[in-house]
């Protein structure tokens, strides 16, 4: 399998950092890698270069052009809300059939393909359709990104078990260190989670500097 879905336990957890890091690492290794973040909220066409879509474009070495944005993220909303609410705020509805067509066309391409979701694995997309339904319809294994905040063990296990009941395969978990003070130790939390799930759990510390995804430890082994 050379295609994967990047999902998480919630929003602002670290999906894009993981996606960008994997794109950068595979590209540096000479692999053909493609990424798609088809749905994004809280974005305008004027400021997108600093958005999650812009980060992925940068990691792929793509120009910050409107053509790049349209290819990476065709379903865009201005309000930083769940897709159902963000679309409604603009008098629109996300066309789930069109979303699947875009993803199917992307998955027909060559190379290693990454599709980054929106929000957590159970965020609503359109009507009663959830991100988990999207993953199921694409028939892709996932990498699940979780935080290191207090409560993440419960959230991680609950999300993982909910995905398992739907028959959704998760390859590994990346615990991305949460921003701010007062969180439990990242590495102790990752070790604790690894003892509770039958999956690889990798700790990803906060990364500093310009283009932080270029400083990430190797994540590509999680795809094998």
Q: Per-residue pLDDT tens for 158-189?
A: 999 999 999 999 999 999 999 988 899 999 99
**In which domain, by residue range, is 112 found?**
3-37+96-223
Q: Is residue 31 part of an annotated ligand binding site?
A: no
Please say if the pLDDT value at position 194 is more than 80. yes
3 state SS of 84? helix
Q: What region does 38 belong to: left with phi over 0, alpha with psi -120 to 50, or beta?
A: alpha
Please say if the pLDDT value at position 5 is more than 60. yes
211, part of any domain:
yes
Q: Is 139 known to be catalytic?
A: no
Q: What is the largest CA-CA distance in the chain?
A: 46
Measured distance CA(53)–CA(74) in Å, rounded: 10
Domain count, the chain: 1
Q: Is residue 13 part of an annotated ligand binding site?
A: yes
Q: Is residue 16 part of an annotated ligand binding site?
A: yes
**Residue of 3, 2, 25 lying closest to 204 (CA atoms):** 25
- The structure's pTM equals 0.96
189, part of any domain:
yes
28, part of any domain:
yes
Count the neighbouring beta carbons within 10 Å of the beta carbon of residue 197. 17
- Tens-digit pLDDT profile for residues 32-42: 999 999 999 99
Measured distance CA(40)–CA(79) in Å, rounded: 10
CATH number of the structural domain spanning residue 176: 3.40.50.300
139, part of any domain:
yes
Q: Is residue 26 part of an annotated ligand binding site?
A: no
Count the neighbouring beta carbons within 10 Å of the beta carbon of residue 180. 8
- Residue 1: its pLDDT value, please? 57
Evaluate whether 117 touches 6 at the Cβ level (below 8 Å).
Answer: yes
Catalytic residue among 37, 101, 139, 195: 37
């Amino acid at each position: 399998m050379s295609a994967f879905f990047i999902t998480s336990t919630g929003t602002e957890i670290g999906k894009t950092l993981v996606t960008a890091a994997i794109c950068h690492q595979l590209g540096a290794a000479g692999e053909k890698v493609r990424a798609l973040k088809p749905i994004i909220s809280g974005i305008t066409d004027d400021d997108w270069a600093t958005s999650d879509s812009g980060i992925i474009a940068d990691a792929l070495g793509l120009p910050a052009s409107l053509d790049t944005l349209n290819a990476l993220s065709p379903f865009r909303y201005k309000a930083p809300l769940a897709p159902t609410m963000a679309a409604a705020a603009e008098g629109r509805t996300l066309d789930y059939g069109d979303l699947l067509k875009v993803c199917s066309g992307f998955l027909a391409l060559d190379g290693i393909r990454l599709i980054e979701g929106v929000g957590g694995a159970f965020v609503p997309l359109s009507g009663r359709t959830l991100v988990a339904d999207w993953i199921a319809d694409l028939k892709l294994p996932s990498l699940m990104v979780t935080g290191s905040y207090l409560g993440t063990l419960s959230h991680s296990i609950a999300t993982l078990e909910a995905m398992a009941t739907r028959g959704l395969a998760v390859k590994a978990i990346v615990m991305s260190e949460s921003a701010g003070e007062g969180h439990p130790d990242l590495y102790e939390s990752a070790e604790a989670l690894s003892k509770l799930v039958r999956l690889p759990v990798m700790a990803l510390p906060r990364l500093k500097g310009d283009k932080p995804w270029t400083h990430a430890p190797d994540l590509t082994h999680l795809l094998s």
